[in-house]
Chain A
């Protein structure tokens, strides 16, 4: 190696060393606490009475229809943050796309936790599952809200976690009871999307039905919509077994397509959809086929003319007009429960902490209307706020109540 080469080498090494030192300095200078503001004690995620709410939302992919929950939720929080807010507290929402899957749930949760939120909302059962390990290891007591199957939320084992929808296994029992007792059906079919939506119910519902008055029960799974859109084989199989009642767990688009295909081949069962399907979108999509379909429900239909729905439509028209549907209404109603808990926790000028908030949430048991909810109850089971449901039927293109509020069977 000649002198010139050694000189160049030393220059290069020196430059690399300087660069390395600079990068290391930059790395070590990076704060590890995110941008959430006050991170001391149990007021983490609140700064100047601004409550940071991280939202992991399916903004893209086949599950993006559920983004309606997010915008209903955010719109209600924004509505309550107007003026002086709730006892001086306001909400600041942060939304990150979770792609509607487990990997996206994990990545989005990493991003949200870096902002040190007070609470996080996760939409979609798969994303809840993906986010759970991240929250377990790095959540530091963050309050978790889940818009998905309560069974999945419960299985996650996360602390400080609150759900909205029923346990889908128990909801299947409710539908089966309705079919057997009210519709007098003896042979039942569960038609379900073979995903986190219906898989659990398909395991437990047959036994329940057969031990509670049902004479026959058969499962009819179908693949998620990204895989197949041809439901002829499915409905032909249903027709062969001639069930009297067909319980459906899937999306509004799926039930519309399945129902149309079923009508075309002459399936004669009475159809019952589970609560997330309770949406005017179904009536639009299925058209005449929707007539006569039953839906269990724990919220007021968004198409009704009450003050509560008028308020929802007025506020959502301002910021999320494409989400004025039942998905938006679910999110809106869940946010109303959250706001109610914040209001109770901060009554009389008390400081909002994670403890005071979770205490207020845990004591939630009310029949006053929150959003479009008929009632809310977190006592005993915080993974769902629903202990009872009612049933609507599509009659003349509208949802008409056909069953009074009835308790959801417990396992």
Chain B
């Protein structure tokens, strides 16, 4: 064994642990996967950098950074998370993407995109322990990570406030009834998480660099360690970080460093297959203990003692004009109108509009699949970019290497993606919640890396040119033909999923989503239903990948990163889950907002704010319409009283541990 590699692995483990602590703490407290943690850490790093640049000594800079972390995290909790209390965890998790994008844009606009060096807390020296050479700041990082691990675990286990945190995590209503000030506890945990983000930034960046995106990317990478160890256990996180840090270092040394994400995915998959882990056991992590996460009820500002009771909603009758038309006729009419509009558009629209709408069509097709798996069946997947990659590369390879026409290549891409989805579904069937999300995340990171690995075949990171589906020339352009093709496919996909969602299949998916036990008790094959959703979602994603490859004419792995999946999830959540119209609106949001923002900013020097504005838009929509944009359309149609009451009764029952 190479001692340098072991030391490097240990150090990386410490960094994963430092970054993961805050993520796990928030998840453990509220069940929310906090995407903004890495961005808060970034801001803290820049605050320390600014303080040092201003001539302040390191301890002052460190305190300023930690203070900034606490303040920003508390602000996120008070201004964003608390108003969303009672919403599903996936909605709150997606909402945290908003502040993340805003912070990154803010940091970039103030300090620029060039990286900075942040010094470590102590002078950089090296010392030897036998054959091992250690750096002073690196050693300090390991010591601080270990100290934080022990300290936080002791704090949670042995202190009264730790008990309050655990109580508020496991049953907020019960905790509130027992006198725990749940709101204050939550704020305190977010503040602590902010402080941990700052410490992570102070320890990780000296060994690396301080840049607007670095810690955000590092956080995504550290999710691998988190999922291996377990989201709900601090000790489990430590074990996961240690395993992942050491194994990737050894794998990188003895095999290759180009398949780190793939190794992570394989590790988790193997762990699932060989370890006798049921879903509950996996939820505990390797050494943790089980916690039951519940959707947070709305807790008032008075220490959590005031609970807003479910409001009775009064159905508002629909407009008589539309109600009087049979449903099938209305649907047919809508499809006809939309179809005619989409067909006619290329005769008047410019190429930008056509390309943007075609991109929207591709996004919609992928989001329809995402909605099946996440919206209808309740499986939080961020792995759709993996299937999109498979579809795109199948298309490109068939077209470029084997000269097979798209009419054959596209079905092949769909079939392959669905098959991989089926296999993947066997693994994911054992998981739920954030663990499912994190396994799919590992998949999402592995597939583009795998696509790039055989560079003689796929062009590696250089990518591949995708032959056009249509021959150029003539009165009708290739883009117009692609537009019609994509829109026709999108329309069919939308109609099929809409009808399936309203029929027996949709009812099965929703039954599984709402209660697997309940669904099984009425004869729904839970496993097969979930598996079918993952496979179908894979098929739609593969279809979207193939079409996007044809639309752009070029593919490279960097177009299919995990962020694509995150944005698909944003489309589903922003639009409205389990709704085809919502998926359409959400897809439009994800495609059009950045385009509109960049158009608005194009003549200025503020293009860096394009993604920042997207983040603002995410927050605004989720603030105003937590149920998604589709609630705009459904305005006035209250949910049935019986269902509303049933859901609220179920929530109260689950909250009280019943």
Q: What residues of chain A have their CB less than 8 Å away from a CB belonging to chain B?
A: 4-5, 8-9, 11-13, 16, 19-20, 23-24, 26-34, 57, 59-62, 64-68, 71, 74, 92-97, 100-104, 106-108, 110-111, 113-115, 126, 129-130, 132-134, 137-138, 152, 194-196, 199-200, 221-237, 239, 252-253, 256-257, 260-261, 264-266, 281, 284-288, 319-320, 322-323, 325, 327
Contacts and interface: CB of A to CB of B under 8 A. Distances in A.
Nearest to A93: B603
B324 A8 contact: yes
Nearest to B209: A253
Contact of A65 (B115, B251, B604): B115
B261 interface: yes
9 contacts: A20-B337, A74-B605, A110-B356, A199-B461, A199-B462, A200-B462, A221-B257, A232-B12, A235-B4
A24 B342 CA distance: 10
A223 B261 CA distance: 10
Interface size classification for chain B:
35 or more
Interface stretch (B77-85, B346-354, B527-535): B346-354
A81 B359 CA distance: 36
Nearest to A131: B554
Contact of B605 (A222, A231, A252, A319): A319
A27 B344 contact: yes
B352 A95 contact: no
A239 B554 CA distance: 38
Contact of A260 (B7, B207, B455, B465): B207
A321 to B, nearest CB: 8
B595 A111 contact: yes
A28 B104 CA distance: 40
Contacts of B445: 227
B406 to A, nearest CB: 15
Contacts of B353: 30
A68 B212 CA distance: 14
Contacts of B356: 107, 110
B12 to A, nearest CB: 4
B180 to A, nearest CB: 40
Interface stretch (B23-31, B143-151, B213-221, B227-235): B213-221
Given A94-B602, A111-B595, A229-B218, A60 B556 contact: no
A110 B208 contact: no
Given A8-B320, A60-B105, A138-B351, A225 B116 contact: no
8 closest A-B pairs by CB = A232-B8, A322-B112, A233-B252, A133-B553, A27-B348, A28-B348, A114-B352, A233-B253
Given A103-B559, A126-B463, A226-B217, A233 B352 contact: no
B653 to A, nearest CB: 43
Given A111-B602, A264-B135, A285-B115, A102 B355 contact: no
A264 B212 CA distance: 26
B558 interface: yes
Given A59-B608, A199-B461, A114 B344 contact: no
Given A100-B558, A236-B253, 10 more contacts: A8-B320, A27-B344, A28-B348, A59-B608, A114-B350, A138-B351, A196-B462, A221-B257, A227-B449, A281-B114
Contacts of B34: none
Contacts of A115: 602
A64 B212 contact: yes
Nearest to B110: A322
Contact of B112 (A5, A9, A68, A236): A68
Nearest to B449: A227
A23 B341 contact: yes
B217 to A, nearest CB: 4
A224 B126 CA distance: 28
Contact of B252 (A26, A230, A327): A230
B449 A257 contact: no
Given A62-B217, A110-B351, A130-B559, A233 B249 contact: yes
Interface in B115-134: 115-117, 124, 126, 133
B257 A68 contact: no
A276 B559 CA distance: 23
B605 to A, nearest CB: 7
Given A24-B341, A28-B347, A60 B608 contact: yes
A102 B610 contact: no
Contacts of A194: 258, 452, 460-461
Contact of A32 (B114, B351, B611): B351
B86 interface: no
Contacts of A16: 333, 337
A410 B333 CA distance: 65
A94 B602 CA distance: 5
A223 B636 CA distance: 52
Interface string B337-378: 100110011011111110110010000000000000000000
B260 interface: yes
Interface in B179-209: 207-209
Interface string B316-340: 0000111011000100010001001
A28 to B, nearest CB: 4
Contacts of A252: 114-115
A228 B445 CA distance: 11
B472 interface: yes
B113 interface: yes
A20 B352 contact: no
Contact of B348 (A24, A62, A95, A325): A24
A265 B351 contact: no
Nearest to A326: B114
A97 B607 contact: yes
Interface in B449-484: 449, 452, 455, 460-463, 465, 472, 477-479
Nearest to A157: B465
B344 A24 contact: yes
B165 to A, nearest CB: 31
Given A232-B9, A285-B117, A27 B349 contact: yes
B554 A132 contact: yes
Contacts of B324: 4-5, 8-9
Contacts of B69: none
Contacts of A253: 115, 208-209, 211, 214
A40 to B, nearest CB: 18
Given A28-B348, A133-B552, A228-B260, A107 B359 contact: yes
Q: Counting chain A CB atoms within 10 Å of each CB, which of B115, B322, B350 scores highest?
A: B115
A110 B352 CA distance: 5
Contacts of A71: 605
Nearest to B10: A232
Contact of B477 (A9, A30, A137): A137
A223 B353 CA distance: 36
A60 to B, nearest CB: 4
Contacts of B348: 24, 26-30, 32
Contacts of B325: 5, 8-9, 12
B301 to A, nearest CB: 36
